[in-house]
Amino acid sequence: MLAEARPRRFVLENVYALTYNNRASRPAYERLLREIDAAGYHCTAKVLNAADYGVPQSRPRLFIIGAPKDEPAPDHARPSHGGQWERRVSGDPQRPHVTTGEALAGLVADPEPGEEVNGKYGHLLPDIPPGDNYLFYTDKRDHPAPIFKWRSKYWSFLLKLAPDKPAPTIQAQPGPYVGPFHWDNRRLRTAEIKRLFTYPDEFELVGRRASVQAQLGNSVPPLLGSPNWFRSVRALGCALLCGSGPSESVEDRSSGGSQRGSQTPRLTLACKGGVVGRLKCGWPVQCRWGYPEGPRGPREAVLSGTRTGEFSEMTCFRKPLSLHAAWRCPRC
């Protein structure tokens, strides 16, 4: 894909087990790195914990970010938060991890069908303390009537959220007794999962409950993905489109003026006969357009270009329209 698309930057995310030094993972990981190199790119790979970037979820993932070999290799964004993760401290502990209690505070979520935990082990959940799991019912925990052997199940089995800690990894297709479960002894509701992934409350997902869980569980939390993507294209986007670094003047091309330190240079492009100006900058550009006759507008889309900071032709819809593009650089 890299060899065909030739992007100026790329971000690849996968489960961090890909980095394990075993027969299943290591060959695949090394083959991936070889293919990136053969496509003409160099890259930086690192396992990042979502909780270190303000996500109320301890979710380790492998992030590989890269650029063409004739350009500097981008680096990962620095953590904004930190704290205890497994048996070590990760991130920047000067700003503690966001907890599930903080993330879910004030949220009112309607009950959902199937949120009760029933069946063979469902009745065991109420006695498990928040933050604990099936190990509560073992002789090593001095349970008077142990049910499970020590470390005989996955860690997430009957795992319950702790309000004073980030959530553990939320899976896309959990089994009937795979957590994390809410401390109120039920499955998490959709609105709660969105909060624990840092999606806006108004973000809409389509499909049945299992499909929604899969969509969220397979996604990259926005607060984890966005800073590493912006970091990977920062130098490219700021230097080529803005022509300046932070706190320098940027040109407002819609008025011909200059706004010192502005965060939203506005660009107005006229469309005649189905051809509009194309931003060639390497940054995605949030665009909004509406048809003059009105019944189908307004719409929103994303334009992306290359890197020259100039305009060239791009074919749009067949009907004439006017396009107002607002570019926002998070670093300027």
> In degrees, to the nearest 5, what angle opens at C-alpha 292 toward C-alphas 290 and 297?
30
Q: Are residues 226 and 306 in the same domain?
A: no
pLDDT in tens, 177-198: 999 999 999 999 999 999 999 9
Domain that holds residue 306: 246-326
151 pLDDT band, cuts 50/70/90, is very high
Structural domain includes residue 160:
no
Strand partners, 314: 276
pLDDT digits (tens, 9 = 90+) for 209-265: 999 999 999 999 988 877 666 655 554 443 333 322 222 222 223 333 333 333 333
Q: For residue 100, what are the contacts with CB-CB under 8 A and spacing of at least 6?
A: 56, 161, 162, 163, 165, 166, 167, 196
What is the rounded distance in angstroms from the CA atom of residue 300 to the CA atom of residue 93?
39
Residues 6+ apart with CB under 8 A from 99: 56, 162, 163, 164, 165, 166
Question: Of 184, 210, 232, which closes a domain?
Answer: 232
* Residue 321 belongs to some domain of the structure: yes
Average pLDDT over residues 27-42: 95
Average pLDDT, the chain: 75
The answer to whether residue 127 is domain-embedded is no
Say how far apart CA 83 and CA 155 lie, in whole Å. Answer: 20
Alpha helices in the chain (DSSP H): 2-5, 26-38, 100-104, 119-122, 190-197, 209-217, 222-237
Task: Report CA 118 to chain centroid distance, whole Å.
Answer: 32
Asked, for residue 135, whether it belongs to a domain, the answer is no
Confidence of residue 275 (pLDDT cuts 50, 70, 90): very low
Regarding whether 300 and 227 lie in a shared domain, the answer is no
Q: Are residues 13 and 80 in the same domain?
A: yes
Torsion of CA 275, 279, 283, 287, to 10 degrees: -50
Tell me the pLDDT tens digit for each residue of 59-116: 999 999 999 999 888 888 889 999 998 888 999 989 999 999 999 999 999 999 999 9
Q: How many domains does the chain divide into?
A: 2
Q: Does residue 169 form part of some domain?
A: no
Judge whether 39 lies within some domain.
yes
Q: Are strands 82-85 and 88-91 parallel, antiparallel or unpaired?
A: antiparallel
The answer as to whether 317 is a domain residue is yes
Q: Is residue 121 part of a domain?
A: no
Which residues share a beta bridge with 326? 266, 286
Residue 123 CB burial class (10 angstroms; 0-12, 13-18, ≥19): exposed
Which residue, among 3, 7, 91, has the nearest Cα to 47 in the 3D structure? 91
**pLDDT, position 77:** 87
Check if the beta carbon of residue 230 is closer than 8 Å to that of residue 9.
no
- Region label for 54, one of left (φ > 0), alpha (ψ between -120 and 50) or beta (otherwise): left
Residues 37 and 82 in one domain: yes
Q: Would you state the structure tokens that stand for residue 51, as one six-digit string?
A: 């909780």
User: For residue 146, what is the DSSP state?
Assistant: -
